[in-house]
Chain A
Amino acid sequence: MSHSERTLAAFLVGDLDPVDAAEYDRHILECDACWTAVHEDRRGRDRLDTLREPAPARLADAVRQRVEAAAARRPQPRRPARIVATVVCVTVIVLAGAVTATRVGGPHRDPAVLASVVAAAADRSGVALPSGVTLDRLVVDGHAVVLARSAALFPMPPGGHPVNDADHAPWIAARGEVNLLCFSRPTPALLAGRVPAAELTGLARALGLQSS
């Protein structure tokens, strides 16, 4: 941009101070090139001015609708109250699960009779036995065990497994420190104690629960 063009642009945009602007005004009257430049500039500006028009009302409506639709598609912010409520719900569920697990004697949901036998074998007090079940506390070969008997079969709990493939085969299970060994024949009997599983079989044999 030449010096004269820079001065002309400054004059047109009103950047010149009043003294310089007045001087440039006088110069334009005497200079054909500058006079032409000024008038072409103003004619161009006036023609461009015809392109200015307000946005149609429908455009503002369309913009509003599209922005609202975009906002609706966004994931909602997680509010503090919702976070607190979520934490409370999770805590309640975890605590309820823990309490239930404790009541049935472990993380498994055992039948009530098994839970009672496990509690007795673990030396917990206040064990309530279901009706029809008898419980004896025994010491066999130096091991304290409990022997429960019932007219009905003792159900195999989750995690238990039969010792062989025969029908009504004995099953074994573990609940924490307590191991269980159950026989269906000749009468249902459940032996439990804080005894290694391998030794529990020998104790059962000593008690006449299992033929050799």
Chain B
Amino acid sequence: MSRPRRLQTVVDHRKFLDAALPHIDVLHNVARGLTRDRGAAEDLVQETYLRAFAGFGGHRGGDMRSWLVSICLNTARSTWRRSQRRVGEVLSPEVGGAEPAPGRDPADVAVAEVERSTVAAALAVLPEHYRVALTLVDIGGLTAQEAAVVLGCPRGTVLARVHRGRRRLAASLESEGIRRES
């Protein structure tokens, strides 16, 4: 049985950018959680936008943020399957590379980068279902309900994964004596 052909709809790219670009911070954070490497994260964000633009004609006006995050997650998984590696298992933790905020003490920036690298490394070794749930909710900022839609699972499952993932992450960091002074 032949597959139905996809309806090709010509989309004004300006409408797409107006609707999708405001979510770039969320996508960037999700991509950072899924790849851990800045360069790979930025590539993932760009690929997500290109795929979303290609499919924007078929987007039925649902929640744009969840839709974009779903594409981002699927793109990351495709890349992951191609490379035969787990999401996040790309590079060793990196230091530096972020755009320094104007007026910030370079020492503070460096410390923050070390903290980010440490947390990212701990996140990268968590089982995938915990890592993805934490990435969507705690890093991407999605609600548990939005994450449930993206992952196609009940909201309670998301809450459980987030809770267990946080505890594992905290325990992992503290077992290595990397507990942050608050």
Contact = CB atoms under 8 A, between A and B. Distances in A.
22 contacts: A1-B160, A40-B170, A41-B166, A42-B166, A44-B170, A48-B119, A48-B139, A51-B119, A51-B139, A52-B29, A52-B141, A53-B28, A53-B29, A55-B45, A56-B98, A59-B45, A60-B24, A62-B42, A66-B50, A67-B53, A70-B50, A75-B10
Contacts of B33: 51
Given A40-B166, A41-B163, A44-B170, A67 B13 contact: yes
Interface residues of B, number: 50
Interface of A: 1, 5-6, 8-10, 12-13, 37, 40-60, 62-64, 66-68, 70-71, 74-75, 77
A40 B167 contact: yes
A57 B53 CA distance: 20
B89 interface: no
Nearest to B115: A50
A57 B28 CA distance: 11
Contact of B99 (A12, A46, A57): A57
Contacts of B53: 67, 70-71
B180 to A, nearest CB: 7
A47 to B, nearest CB: 5
A49 B120 CA distance: 11
A77 B21 CA distance: 24
The 10 closest A-B pairs by CB, nearest first: A44-B166, A55-B28, A71-B13, A44-B170, A48-B138, A43-B170, A40-B167, A9-B159, A44-B169, A1-B160
A70 B165 CA distance: 39
Interface of B: 10, 13, 16-17, 21, 24-25, 27-29, 32-33, 42, 45-46, 49-50, 53-54, 98-99, 112, 115-116, 119-120, 122-123, 134, 138-139, 141, 144, 156, 159-160, 162-163, 165-171, 173-174, 179-180, 182
B17 A51 contact: no
B173 to A, nearest CB: 6
A51 B120 contact: yes
B13 A48 contact: no
Contacts of A10: 159
A59 B28 contact: yes
Contacts of A52: 29, 139, 141
Given A47-B173, A48-B123, A54 B160 contact: no
Contacts of A74: 10
Given A52-B141, A60-B21, A60-B24, A47 B180 contact: yes
B167 A51 contact: no
A67 B50 contact: yes
A48 B169 contact: yes
Contact of B156 (A1, A44, A70): A1
B43 to A, nearest CB: 10
Contact of A46 (B42, B45, B123, B182): B182
Contacts of B21: 60, 63-64
B40 to A, nearest CB: 13
A67 B16 contact: yes
B16 A48 contact: no
A12 B45 CA distance: 31
Nearest to B16: A67
Contacts of B123: 48, 51
A68 B174 CA distance: 47
A163 to B, nearest CB: 58
A9 B160 contact: yes
Given A59-B42, A67-B17, A71-B53, A45 B166 contact: yes
